[in-house]
Amino acid sequence: MSLFDGVGSGEHLLMLACNDLSGMTRGRAVPVRERDAYLQRGVGWVPADQALTPFDVIASPNPWGSTGDLRLKPDPAAEVRINLWPDVTPLQYALCDIIHTDGTPWDSCTRTYLRTALAELESETGLRLMAAFEHEFTLVGQEPPGPAFSLRAFRSEERLGNQIMAALEQAQQQPEMFLPEYGAGQFEVLCKPTAALAAADRAVFVRDICREVAARLGKRITFSPKLTPQGVGNGVHIHFSLWDRENRPVTYDPKGPGGLSQVAGRFAAALWLTASAVRTDRASVVSTSLMPHT
């Protein structure tokens, strides 16, 4: 059964979207009744959209200028439909690869970049990556619901948690836990681990779906790392493990330093050595720049 079975002809829209370098999900919407055709051909896009900042201005310098044409090509494995609210049309969208008009990959597409890196990892080492994300978010514009990690905080926002978990389940994202966190009005949501590309897509879905649920309940949430200089920040913990071609986990070795196997230790060392290069690319605003003990 398709995720879109039962949708009335011509009455709902499907958004074909990408998640850009600023963490925003952007795209174009098409009629659901023409979904199959758009899965094949995608929709038009332009390089400059990747230069948009979180403040909706084009970064300067913009390496792509104002010219060029691209396509958003939907991945059928990365589409969701949520229909929890009878008075609101379903939230339905598909994440896309950004490609050239001739169908070849665009080198600044984040999904293609990740897929290529994962393929190189497996080709060169025989290893695959599994991952899971823990997202923290904070309620904005209301009194804190209760003490950190407390039953009172959970019960105060149980409706929010209930609908987030229901929406993630309907979206087939395997929700695992919802809990009050340390910060004032802060909560955390996590889903089960899956293959790395799907896990990255899942991270996007979690953020978008949490915002959608909060909006339906008349609330506002933020995943911003810092709301105030002195406040507790929102984090996103990335859990990962390495698996071999025989589908065996190879990250843990009780005899290794810190319980790491030799191959996992080398993998961690490479991440440590290259993290600064990634950080400059991902810190799109001041509040996303990680400082010690913040």
Distance CA 28, CA 10 (A): 16
pLDDT of residue 144 exceeding 90: no
Tokens of 261: 């196997």
- The pLDDT, as a whole number, for residue 167 is 99
Distance CA 41, CA 44 (A): 9
Pick the CATH number of 128-250 from 3.40.50.300, 3.30.70.380, 3.30.565.10, 3.30.590.10: 3.30.590.10
Distance CA 236, CA 226 (A): 12
Q: Which fold has domain 13-120?
A: Ubiquitin-like (UB roll) (3.10.20)
**H/E segment holding residue 214:** helix 196-216
What gap in Å lies between CA 77 and CA 237, rounded to an integer?
A: 24
Helix (H) or strand (E) holding 267: helix 262-282
User: How far is 89 from 269, CA to CA, in rounded Å?
Assistant: 47
What percent of the chain lies above the pLDDT cut of 70?
90
Q: Do domains 13-120 and 128-250 have the same CATH topology?
A: no
Strands (E), 41-182: 43-45, 70-82, 91-100, 128-139, 175-180
- Using pLDDT thresholds of 50, 70 and 90, give the confidence band for residue 286: low
The domain limits of the chain are 13-120, 128-250
CA geometry: angle at 27 spanning 22 and 29, to 5°? Answer: 155
Please say if the pLDDT value at position 287 is more than 80: no
Residue given tokens 């799907």 in the structure block = 198
Whole-angstrom distance, CA of residue 205 vs CA of residue 213: 12
Q: Strands 13-19 and 91-100, how do they pair?
A: parallel
* Token pair belonging to 245: 């071609």
For residue 110, what is the DSSP state? Answer: H
For position 290, what pLDDT does the model report?
A: 57
74, pLDDT greater than 90: yes
Q: How confident is the model at residue 283 (pLDDT cuts 50, 70, 90)?
A: low
Whole-structure pTM value? 0.91
State pLDDT tens for residues 45-64.
Answer: 999 999 999 889 999 999 99
Question: Residues 261-273, buried b or exposed e (16+ Cβ, 10 A)?
Answer: bebbbebeeeeee
Instruction: Examine the pLDDT at 281 and tell me if it is beyond 80.
Output: no
Q: In the predicted model, is pLDDT for residue 6 greater than 70?
A: no
| Position with higher pLDDT, 278 vs 85 | 85
Q: Give residues with Cβ within 8 angstroms of 192, minimum separation 6.
A: 132, 174, 175, 176
| Measured CA distances, 69 to 44, 108, 244 (Å) | 7, 13, 39
- Give the largest CA-CA distance in the chain: 61
Mean of the per-residue pLDDT values of the chain: 91
